[in-house]
Amino acid sequence: MTQSDCRSWFSAADLLTGGVGAPIALLGAPLGLGSITPGRCDLAPAIVRTAMKRMSVYDLETETDLSALRLFDAGDVGLDGAEPAEALAPIVERLSPLLRAHALTMVLGGNNAVTRPCVHALDPTLQKVGLLTLDAHFDLRDTDCGLTNGNPISSLLQEGLPGDHVAQIGLLPFANTTKAHQKAKDAGIYVATAAACRAQGMAAIAANALERLSSRCEAIHVDFDIDVIERAAMPSAPGARPGGVAPQDFFEATRLICAHPKVRSVDLTEFDPSLDVADLGALTAARWSCEALAGFLKR
């Protein structure tokens, strides 16, 4: 006899477990300092876990049931008071063993500076790893003033990540500079604008990017910067702008990406719960986690 769902249901949060044998791991990286627009992205991991309680584990559109899947919840990296430069070692230390033990590791940021240590954890040499970003911004700002959430891609290129191992999709007009675009061109980065994503479908653009990266790389990390979404639907992302992609396009791309066998780790960044309206950002992030799991089940 099944348990009554009169007042509750088996939720996405119920998939979290302390069992280290789960195929997927979840790690919080609550990095808040170093944001160009100061905020409280450090609050996001706890809020997203709570919001997962409001998501069921069944997708009626595709009849996908997540109930048999489990995620090892590895807790959060201790980053209190850490600047981006100081966050590299503790994140890599916690993330590296998870990458060895699990087929996919999901990292809940934090601001976008967590992407740099995620890539380092996947491949310390930076020569066999690929990076796909879904982001309104290049994150190619200069590093002369230190590390921020606006320059993780610049940092990685300077540290030896080949430019043709990077793909960036969802980039917006009037949210980037001529200098950043030229850096991307010079480095050989695959670039697709938000307009291209609307015209061709973000999932189709992501598929093209993954095909390119998988031909060059042994493993891929994907940065889901939530500010790639239209600002009207994501007011809790400080960097979101009008003209971003629709949430449904973001979800469809997430599922396709996480189905790819070379995608070993993903991060969700730039959700600031202190700016949330009607739990919109929290529920979007929780839905993202479900889409990632649904994608993984298709492997």
What integer pLDDT is reported at residue 279 of this predicted model? 97
Q: Is 97 within a domain?
A: yes
C-alpha triplet 264, 225, 194: angle, nearest 5°: 110
Q: Is 7 within a domain?
A: no
Question: What digits encode the pLDDT tens for the residues 281-294?
Answer: 999 999 999 999 99
Q: 44, exposed or middle or buried, with CB in 10 Å at 0-12, 13-18, 19+?
A: buried
C-alpha span between 194 and 186 (Å, rounded): 21
Q: 297, exposed or middle or buried, with CB in 10 Å at 0-12, 13-18, 19+?
A: middle
Q: Is 165 within a domain?
A: yes
What integer pLDDT is reported at residue 118 of this predicted model? 98
Plot region of 233 (φ>0 → left; ψ -120 to 50 → alpha; else → beta): alpha
Q: Is 3 within a domain?
A: no
pLDDT band at 6 (very low <50, low <70, confident <90, very high): confident
What integer pLDDT is reported at residue 131 of this predicted model? 98
What integer pLDDT is reported at residue 4 of this predicted model? 86
7, pLDDT greater than 80? yes
Q: Is 266 within a domain?
A: yes
Q: Is 6 within a domain?
A: no
- Mean pLDDT over 28-34 rounds to 97
C-alpha span between 284 and 249 (Å, rounded): 12
Contacts of 211 (CB under 8 A, 6+ apart): none
**Total domain count, the chain:** 1
Kindly state the percentage of the chain with pLDDT values over 70.
99
- Mean pLDDT over 220-239 rounds to 97
Helices (H), 78-160: 84-101, 115-122, 152-158
Q: Is 220 within a domain?
A: yes
Q: How many residues does the chain have?
A: 299
pTM of the predicted protein model: 0.97
CATH number at residue 227: 3.40.800.10
Domain limits for position 117: 12-297
Q: Is 231 within a domain?
A: yes
What integer pLDDT is reported at residue 3 of this predicted model? 78
Question: What digits encode the pLDDT tens for the residues 82-135?
Answer: 999 999 999 999 999 999 999 999 999 999 999 999 999 999 999 999 999 999
Question: What digits encode the pLDDT tens for the residues 186-212?
Answer: 999 999 999 999 999 999 999 999 999
